């Protein structure tokens, strides 16, 4: 679950930030979210499927359970980011989406740290720092694409 949810958040917030900076288009941002929800979820599910098949100790049931769990988790997490884009002005929706993504990352990091009996704050801040870096870098790539090619 941690992999699918974390990957779903990071990929989607990066995509939203980049598409917003590059297009400022609801159609582009919403379309990007829907496409990435399906394509990236299927891609990671296939990757998980192949990785599980490579493990000689994996059973067929385990392989398919891991495949489905990865797809479902990543798809559901990614699709939640479409809700603010459909109901709010785009700039507000982008801010809400970034906050939603950071909340998910913080919660996953909290439960991961507690489960591993590690100090919570360093783990949470490390993961939030990476997420913020993805958002900022993706935003500036989108802005550069807009400047260079629009």
Percentage of the chain modeled with pLDDT above 70:
99
Mean pLDDT of 39-62: 94
Contact 124, 113 (CB under 8 A): yes
Give the integer Cα–Cα distance in Å for 89 and 67: 36
Domain ranges of the chain: 2-149
> CB-based burial of residue 150 (10 Å sphere; 0-12 exposed, 13-18 middle, 19+ buried)?
exposed
Contact 9, 134 (CB under 8 A): no
* pLDDT tens sequence across 71-127: 999 999 999 999 999 999 999 999 999 999 999 999 999 999 999 999 999 999 999
* pLDDT tens sequence across 132-145: 999 999 999 999 99
Contact 28, 100 (CB under 8 A): no
Q: Is the pLDDT of residue 4 over 80?
A: no
Q: What is the DSSP code string of 70-97?
A: HHHHHHHHHHHTHHHHHHS-HHHHHHHH
Q: Is the pLDDT of residue 2 over 80?
A: no
Q: What is the pTM of this model?
A: 0.92
């Amino acid at each position: 679950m941690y992999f699918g949810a974390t990957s779903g958040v990071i990929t989607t917030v990066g995509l939203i930030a980049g598409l917003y900076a590059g297009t400022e288009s609801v159609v582009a941002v919403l379309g990007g979210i829907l496409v990435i929800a399906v394509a990236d979820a299927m891609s990671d599910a296939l990757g998980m499927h192949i990785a599980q098949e490579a493990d000689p100790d994996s059973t067929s049931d385990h392989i398919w359970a891991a495949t489905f769990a990865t797809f479902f988790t990543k798809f559901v997490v990614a699709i939640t980011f479409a809700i603010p884009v459909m109901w709010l002005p785009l700039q507000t929706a982008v801010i809400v989406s970034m906050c939603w993504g950071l909340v998910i990352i913080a919660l996953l990091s909290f439960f991961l740290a507690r489960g591993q009996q590690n100090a919570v704050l360093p783990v949470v801040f490390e993961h939030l720092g990476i997420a913020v870096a993805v958002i900022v870098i993706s935003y500036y790539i989108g802005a550069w694409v807009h400047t260079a090619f629009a």
